[in-house]
Amino acid sequence: MYVLIGGAGLIGLTLARQLVALGHTVAIVDIDPGACRYAREQLGVMAFEGSAVSTDVLLDAGIRRADAVAAVLRNDALNLAMTTLAKYYGVSRMLVRMRHRDFAEPYRMAGATHIINAIDLAVSTMVNAIEYPEVDSMMHFEQGQIEVVKMAIPVDCDVAGRTLAEVAQDERFPTGSLIIGYQPHVNRDLVVPNGSTVLEPGSTVLIVTKPGAVHSMVDFLQASSRV
């Protein structure tokens, strides 16, 4: 996949590094010659010095053949302009970093397929860390109607050593929840479990649940008959 990134700041460069590691072809556009040089020499990506809202620069960077564009420029007005140009040149996947919520609707009208509010993400992560310290990570879907929770199976809990089928049939298991991923060890791949999968102590599970059931799920997985 050919990905064109507007902006060689911290987010743009970090995004480029991860995309390269995944095997994608990446190009960055930025007005800072030093940032462009760093992107070429340290990340091994193509870098085009100039404005990411200049049609000449974008055409040189290959926007017509881009599979995706990520606008992570220094303000929303520039990101909106880049998104509009990307739509004009036929890019089907457009991701934008939003700083101010007032731009949400303009971004959608411009054709942005993914709008990421960096402030909301940071605040949500901090709130989750305070509210659910036992949870390794949490993702929200469908405007917060669904939560995907990742957490470890404690060594001394009731769940450890039981099959997924046994766990799901436990009356304490929160209704409407589903364990969709299982990682037996930190160095092992995450797999899709089945009813016979045994939840080993210290393993990690990925759970889909409702927001109101997160605390109940944490309590259930932390419960120990040995206490």
CB atoms within 10 A of CB 11: 16
Is 227 a member of any domain?
no
Q: What is the CATH number of the domain that holds 214?
A: 3.30.70.1450
Is 124 a member of any domain?
no
Give the single-character DSSP code of 158: S
For 177, the domain range is: 130-222
Q: Which of 83, 118, 153 is the last residue of a domain?
A: 118
What the block records as the tokens of 197 is 């999968």
Helix residue spans in the chain (DSSP H): 10-21, 33-38, 55-60, 76-88, 104-110, 118-131, 164-169, 214-222
Do 37 and 77 fall within a single domain?
A: yes
What the block records as the tokens of 78 is 């520039």
Q: What pLDDT is attached to residue 185?
A: 85
Q: What pLDDT is attached to residue 225?
A: 47
pTM above threshold 0.75: no
Give the single-character DSSP code of 101: G
In this structure, are residues 84 and 108 in contact, taking their beta carbons and an 8 Å threshold?
no
Chain centroid to CA 107: how far? 19
Question: Is the pLDDT assigned to residue 38 strictly greater than 70?
Answer: yes
Q: What is the CATH number of the domain that holds 112?
A: 3.40.50.720
Q: Per mean pLDDT, which range of 25-39, 81-95, 163-177 is the poorest? A: 163-177
pLDDT band at 142 (very low <50, low <70, confident <90, very high): low
Give the single-character DSSP code of 40: I
- Give the residue from 142, 139, 222 showing the smallest Cα distance to 181: 139
The whole-number average pLDDT for the span 171-192 is 89
- The residue to which tokens 């457009």 are assigned: 94
Query: CA angle at residue 170 from 136 to 150, to 5 degrees?
Result: 10
Q: What's the half-sphere exposure (Cβ side, CA atoms, 13 Å) at 97?
A: 19
**pLDDT tens per residue across span 100-130:** 989 999 999 999 999 988 777 777 777 777 7
Domain count, the chain: 2
Q: What pLDDT is attached to residue 144?
A: 63
